Structures are given as structure tokens and as C-alpha cells.
Structure 1
Amino acid sequence: MRMLLNVKIPHQPFNAAVKDGTAASKLSRILEATKPEAVYFTEQNGQRGAILIVDLPDPSKTPALAEPWFLTFQADVEFRVVMSPDDLKRAALDELGKKWS
């Protein structure tokens, strides 16, 4: 299942990593472990943030996606199920509309 991870990184832990020169290596380690399909770094409500698209083959793998952010940067992580246009085509919306109308 494709998931969107929305990561909000607090200033203090990331600032400390920037100052001690470990920010890049810590981010690389997380990204190597989670193997996102895509990742974008952005601002979120005045804080550093990241948006990742990942494949979650099994719900038991959720901690492996979140814990690196929690433990490394004390970040908040939100998960959302996402679909590609092809996934949406296979959702049979017309049939659901007929069934529930």
C-alpha cells in the first residue's frame, strides 16, 4: 500500500544536528533505510518538514518508517493512504455510486 508520510521536524534537534555536522548523514541514513519512492523537504507551519511517498507492504512495517524520525529528530509523523490515478481507476467508483445511491 502506498503511503504519504508527513514529517514535521522540531527546530532544536535539527539545529543541533546542523551545528554538529551530522544532519546530512542522519537524513541519508533514514532515507536509505526507508527507501521512499519520492521525498521532498519543505516548510510546515514554520518548522522544517519532509513529505515522503513510501510503499507499506505490511502494517507491521509502520514503526520502521516512523521510528527513525521519532528517535533521530523527535519529529511528528503522520501517515496517509494515497492512490495513483491508476489505483483510483481500479476503485470501481461507478459501481460504488450505484450501490450506495
Structure 2
Amino acid sequence: MRMLLNIRIPHEPFNAFVREGTIGEVMARILEETKPEAAYFTEQNGARGAILVVNLDEPSLIPALVEPWFLMFNADCEFRVVMAPEDLKKAGLENLGSKWK
């Protein structure tokens, strides 16, 4: 299942990792472990943020995906199930439309 993971990262402890010069290593470790399809880093409400596209085979994989963000950065994480255009084509919208007239 493809999901959009929205991450809001508070200033601390992120700033401490930046000051120590270890933030690159920490981020690389998390991204290598979680293997997102795509990762974008941005501002969110005046703080750091990230948006990841991830593909999970089953819901039990969610903790392994979010715990690094929780434990390393005290981050807030939100999930949204998303579809690519090819997924939407398989949804059967034509049949649903006729069913719910």
C-alpha cells in the first residue's frame, strides 16, 4: 500500500545534530532503513518538515517506518493512503458510479 508520510520535525533535537555535525549520518541512516520511493524536505509551520512516499506491504510495518522519526527527532508523523494514476484506473469508478445512482 502506497502512503504519504508527512513529518513535522521540531527544532530540538534536530539543531543539536546539526551543531554536532552528525545530522547527515542520522538522516542517511533513517532513509536507508525506510527506503522511501521519494523524499522531500520542506518547511512546515515554521519548522523543518519532510514528506515521504513509502510503499508498505502490510500495516505491521508502520512502527519500523515512524519510530526512527519519533525516537531521533521527537517528530510528529501523519499518514495518508495515496494512489498513483495506474491505481486509480484499477479502482472501478465506472462500476461504482452506476451502483450508486
TM-score above 0.5: yes
Shift of 1:22: 1.2
- Give RMSD over aligned pairs: 0.6
Shift of 1:32: 0.3
Deviation at 1:39, TM superposition (A): 0.3
Are 2:96 and 1:85 equivalent residues in the alignment? Answer: no
- For 2:80 and 2:72, the matched residues in 1 are separated by 22
Cα distance in 1 for partners of 2:100, 2:6 equals 32
TM-score, length of structure 1 as denominator length:
0.98
Q: How many residues align?
A: 101
Instruction: Provide structure 1 residue ranges, at least 5 long, that are not aligned to the other structure.
Output: none
TM-score using structure 2 length: 0.98
Identity, in percent, stands at 67
Deviation, structure 1 residue 100: 1.4
For the residues of structure 2 that align with 1:46 and 1:57, how far apart are their CA atoms? 33
Cross-structure match for 1:69: 69
* 1:71-92 deviation digits (Å, cap 9, x = unpaired): 0000001011010001001001
SS of 1:50's partner is strand
Q: Which runs of 5+ in 2 are unaligned?
A: none
Q: 3-state SS of the aligned residue for 2:69?
A: helix
Cα distance in 2, alignment partners of residues 34 and 12 from structure 1 = 22
| Runs of 4+ deviating beyond 6 Å | none
